[in-house]
């Protein structure tokens, strides 16, 4: 059946400054000064920040000449002509601004409301960031980066998927670079668990790279978002990815290296994580695998081993706690971190609940809800197999029971036994009360 084509709605005439200002205000977009500066991303960030300050102080006219800029920031004089030629003309900028409004892409200047404070802790933070979706207002205040080789082994891909899934079930936001291999599997694992994930891009926000990750990018925008310092239309280039990796590391509390060589992009992410004082962890790998070199070397040099999601949650529990929402809302540089409290389940309890779980303990909730409390109450009566638990709980969606069990297993409160059976941790191999002895 042929679909009827409908004409696209007419955009306001952005040549009229009043229309452009109204559109920017309605969509929380900056004015064209920020967008022009964003196209000068090739310049050193510290100098670019000074240029942005001059532009907002109206000391820099646009369009401007190399002489205009050199007068304000002399250090840029040697490279100005080529960089200024990369700024689109006003008509093109207006089209870009309209496309950003349509796609709900925000351009934040450092210090503005919504700016991620952790990025400002870097030595050379970008003065501008493009955000699409809801990447920084995560319901959990903990973010874990999972990165590794594009040419990943089958085992590495499985490890990355499992970590992404299990951490998302525990309410942690999974951050990665949307690349092939390890990055993509981490995103998919988090999404399959119904959790949140953020992709830090080495391209403009309008470009899915690699191209086969277009559908993945759409899923990420529905359950998190994307962050990039590159303006719309910027294609992937090798020099972009180290710049991306420094932002990726800055957004995370913990960075996990799953697989990679000493020359891989994961190496630069590990270096940035150490430089920025982030907790660095690595997955111990078989020394016969090519991708084992980097994680094993990091472990030798003092990185903490990842033995499963539980070890990552334990590392998060031991760290001072920062509210990601407060960071994003206030845009303040977090110089001192608040105290963490409680056990691992206390940490997770303050994050997002597991899919299908309305609470963590105590109140069993409504009879139809699959909560931690209902599952634990059932297991106090003895070992249960999964099929029987689904039936006895009256679960219309078996995946909800599995999600709660996976979460409780991560917290160390439930253990899985052979034959698809579950029991409270530390209990014997007993039978349900009242069951006959075989």
The pLDDT tens digits for 205-259 are 999 999 999 999 999 999 999 999 999 999 999 889 999 999 999 999 999 999 9
Domain ranges of the chain: 17-104, 132-325, 353-424
CA distance 244 to 72: 28
Backbone angles phi and psi of 378, in degrees to 5: -65, -40
> Are the CB atoms for 405 and 371 separated by under 8 Å?
no
Q: Omega into 6 within 30° of 0, i.e. cis?
A: no
**Fold (CATH) for 132-325:** Rossmann fold (3.40.50)
Strand partners, 133: 225
Task: Give the tokens for residue 312.
Answer: 């990552």
Q: What is the DSSP letter of 321?
A: B
Q: Which of 116, 104, 89 is nearest to 32 (CA)?
A: 89
Contacts of 215 (CB under 8 A, 6+ apart): none
Chain centroid to CA 170: how far?
Answer: 15
Query: Could you give phi then psi for residue 127, rounded to 5 degrees?
Result: -75, -15
* Side-chain-facing half-sphere of 320: CA atoms under 13 Å: 9
CA distances from 414 to 231, 309, 312, 422 (A): 47, 14, 18, 7
Q: How far apart, in Å, are the Cα atoms of 415 and each of 53, 359, 404, 411, 427? A: 56, 20, 12, 10, 9
| Cβ–Cβ < 8 Å for 217, 226 | yes
Q: What is the per-residue pLDDT across 90-135, written as a single tens digit (0 to 9) for each?
A: 788 889 999 999 899 999 988 888 888 889 888 888 999 999 998 8
Helices (H), 303-343: 309-317, 324-330
Phi and psi based region of residue 363 (left: phi greater than 0; alpha: psi -120 to 50; beta: remaining)? beta
Residues of the chain with pLDDT under 50: 1-12, 14-15, 17-18, 20-21, 138-140, 323-367, 429-438
Looking at residue 414, its pLDDT comes to: 86
Pairing of strands 304-305, 279-282: parallel
The predicted model scores a pTM of: 0.70
What pLDDT is recorded for position 66? 67
Q: Which residue has the tokens 């590495």?
A: 156
Distance CA 317, CA 5 (A): 54
Using only C-alpha atoms, the chain has a radius of gyration, in whole angstroms, of 25
**What is the token pair recorded at 261?**
């060589």
CA dist., res. 366 & res. 393, Å (int): 12
Q: Can you tell me the distance from the alpha carbon of 183 to that of 180, in angstroms, rounded to the nearest whole number?
A: 6
- For 334-368, what is the HEC assignment? CCCCECCCCCHHHHHHCCCCCCCCCCCCCCCCCCC
Q: What is the CATH number of domain 353-424?
A: 1.10.10.10
How far apart are alpha carbons 138 and 103 in whole angstroms?
20
- Residue 369 is predicted with a pLDDT of 63
Q: What angle do CA 288, 289, 295 make, to 5 degrees?
A: 110
Res 61: pLDDT: 63
Whose tokens are 């990815």? That residue is 241
DSSP bridge partners of 305: 282
Q: How far is 11 from 25, CA to CA, in rounded Å?
A: 15
* CA dist., res. 341 & res. 318, Å (int): 8
């Amino acid at each position: 059946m042929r679909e009827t084509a409908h004409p696209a709605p007419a955009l306001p005439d952005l040549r009229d400054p009043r229309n452009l200002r109204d559109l920017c205000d309605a969509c929380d977009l900056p004015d064209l000064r920020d967008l022009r500066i964003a196209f000068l991303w090739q310049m050193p960030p510290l100098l670019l920040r000074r240029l942005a300050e001059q532009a907002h102080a109206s000391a820099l006219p646009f369009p401007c000449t190399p002489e205009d800029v050199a007068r304000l920031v002399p250090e840029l004089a040697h490279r100005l002509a080529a960089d200024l030629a990369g700024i689109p003309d006003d008509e093109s900028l207006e089209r870009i601004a309209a496309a950003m409004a349509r796609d709900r892409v925000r351009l934040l200047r450092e210090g503005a409301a919504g700016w991620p404070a952790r990025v400002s802790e870097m030595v050379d933070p970008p003065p501008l960031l493009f955000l699409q979706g809801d990447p920084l207002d995560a319901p959990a205040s903990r973010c874990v980066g999972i990165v590794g080789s594009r040419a990943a082994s089958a085992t590495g891909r499985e490890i990355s998927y499992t970590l992404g899934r299990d951490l998302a079930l525990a309410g942690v936001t999974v951050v990665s670079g949307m690349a092939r291999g390890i990055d993509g599997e981490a995103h998919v694992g988090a999404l399959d668990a119904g959790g949140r994930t953020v992709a830090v891009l080495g391209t403009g926000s309008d470009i899915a790279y690699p191209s086969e990750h277009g559908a993945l990018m759409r899923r990420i925008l529905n359950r998190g978002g994307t962050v990039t310092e590159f303006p719309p239309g910027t294609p992937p280039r090798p020099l972009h990815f180290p710049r991306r990796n420094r932002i990726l590391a800055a957004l995370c509390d913990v960075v996990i290296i799953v697989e990679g060589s000493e020359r891989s992009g994961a190496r630069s992410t590990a270096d940035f994580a150490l430089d920025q004082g982030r907790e660095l962890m690595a997955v111990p790998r078989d020394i016969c695998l090519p991708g084992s070199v980097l994680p094993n070397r990091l472990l030798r040099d003092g990185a903490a081993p990842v033995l499963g999601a539980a070890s990552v949650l334990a590392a998060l529990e031991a760290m001072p706690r920062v509210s990601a929402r407060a960071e994003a809302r206030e845009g303040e540089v977090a110089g001192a971190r608040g105290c963490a409290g409680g056990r691992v389940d206390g940490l997770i309890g303050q994050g997002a609940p597991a899919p299908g779980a309305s609470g963590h303990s105590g109140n069993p909730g409504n009879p139809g809800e699959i909560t931690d409390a209902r599952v634990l109450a059932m297991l106090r009566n003895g070992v249960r197999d999964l099929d029987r638990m689904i039936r006895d709980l009256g679960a219309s969606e078996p995946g909800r029971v599995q999600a709660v069990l996976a979460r409780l297993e991560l917290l160390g409160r439930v253990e899985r036994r052979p034959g698809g059976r579950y029991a409270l941790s530390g209990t014997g191999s007993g039978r349900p009360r009242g069951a006959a002895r075989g």
